[in-house]
Amino acid sequence: MNTLIDQLQPRALWSIFSELCAIPRPSKNEEKVVEYVKNFGESLQLVTLVDEAGNIIIKKPATPGMENRKGMVLQSHLDMVPQKNSDKKHDFLKDPIEAYIDGDWVTANGTTLGADNGIGVASILAILKADDIVHGPLEALLTIDEETGMTGAFALKPGQLDGQILINLDSEEEGELYVGCAGGIESNIRFSLDEQPAPKGSIAYELSVRGMKGGHSGLDINLGRGNSIKVLNRILWSSLNKYGVSLAHGEGGSLRNAIPREADAVITVPENNKKAFETFIQNITLTITNELQATEPDLQIKLEETDMPEKIIENEQAKKLIGALYACPNGVIRMSDAVPGLVETSTNLAVFRAGKGSATLQCLLRSSVDTAKHELAGRMAAVFELAGGEVEFTGEYPGWKPNKDSVILSICRLVYEQKFGKKPDVKAIHAGLECGIIGGIYPGLDMISFGPTIQYPHSPDEKVNIASVLKFWNFLLETLKNIPGV
């Protein structure tokens, strides 16, 4: 296993990314990386500001001869998604990311890599440190908690930034320029549940779903991957009445913006249904694995006998809960009419917990059309309220509307074509970028987003293409040279 990522080119970027991998920085726990970046800026004797939320702004003067160029803001987020394989022992609050080189890629050993958005952060810090890069007046904006609510971006105040142009470095396909993104809203669902003693004359089983790919609930939602909570719930719904299944507790998923990869439930089945139920599990496993063979080749559904729980969820309430989960919208809801191939509206059934007197669910709804987002929220509320649940929507953030007159878009198009001999693709993205929020706080800010090629973000399969990082770096530096005058 080759772990010498700090020897890759450009070394200025990779050496800083290697240091970031050693610093725990899961969302909402960014204290150590904030301290690292603060010390980094101050060690360079640059103006370094940390706001009340923990966002960092570092200001670097223009290089000689570039003082009259428009002010540029380079923006990335400090936090990363903490996901790991079930057999991986890793504490995201303490342990370093075990990054290594795997052929043409850098990936991590059993966990998310944090290239989203660590590569963007590393590139900004490398530019701040360099004394041989040409640029105009420069500001670094490094936000916290992007992955679980964009609370850092929401906490920005007017007047903190001076720049007229912003480049967000949080996109994940080299050669693509992003000029718009979807908005989102979070749903929080809760059920109060009664419990009753586990039925006598029954057998307890643990039902588990493993081996699914998961992924980013915006970027990967159109790939047809399975949702472990939906797979688990399909089995429960199909077996409730026919085999007398009772639910003791269940869980699946961990983050709103990650497609859930694993799910489990402890259930009871009458002893006289043991053989028929086990045969049913074999048959439905074959059905589901055949349906998802192309997108989830490693899917495993296992049924194992376990200790009898003391209590189960009251059967009628469990039936309503499982029925609501079965009816809950999930995945792509509508494709865009305006942009071919772009998902307009989607939702991700992300987190499920049931047992000990309650059940909670979390979803993330996305859309580039606000009215469609709100319609989907109404539909979801209707499903769960009819089943007796309480539904709350929080954390709404706006989309980013493309600007056809963008100066930075024109510059990036021209620079890319001149440097690489082909035109970049100009796109909108079905994921949340902080540009929508920042643009609301700083109206008139000219914005664009680009980055290197990162595959499978928000999952332990996350990896970043080495060659694309060098290409991204060279493009970024050439763009800085070509920022127009005031």
Looking at the DSSP bridge assignments, the partners of residue 305 are 205
Non-local CB neighbours of 132 within 8 Å, separated by 6+ positions: none
CB environment 398-421: b (16+ within 10 A), e (fewer): bbbebbeebebbebbbebbeeeee
Q: Which residues have a Cβ under 8 Å from the Cβ of 448 and sit 6 or more positions away? A: 166, 167, 168, 177, 178, 179, 406, 408, 409, 412
Selected catalytic residue, list 30, 79, 147, 344: 79
Q: Which of 134, 110, 99 is nearest to 17 (CA)?
A: 99
Active-site residue flag, 195: no
Non-local CB neighbours of 378 within 8 Å, separated by 6+ positions? none
Catalytic residue, from 30, 116, 145, 146: name it.
146
Query: Which whole-number Å values give the CA distances from 198 to 48, 202, 323, 353, in the listed order?
Result: 60, 8, 21, 19
Q: Can you tell me the distance from the alpha carbon of 468 to that of 486, in angstroms, rounded to the nearest whole number?
A: 32
DSSP H or E segment with residue 16:
helix 11-21
Tell the residue number behind the tokens 């204290």, with chain if given: 31
Q: Could you confirm whether 146 is annotated as catalytic?
A: yes
List, as one string, the DSSP characters of 345-376: EEEEEEEEEEETTEEEEEEEEEESSHHHHHHH
Indicate which residues carry an active-site annotation. 79, 146
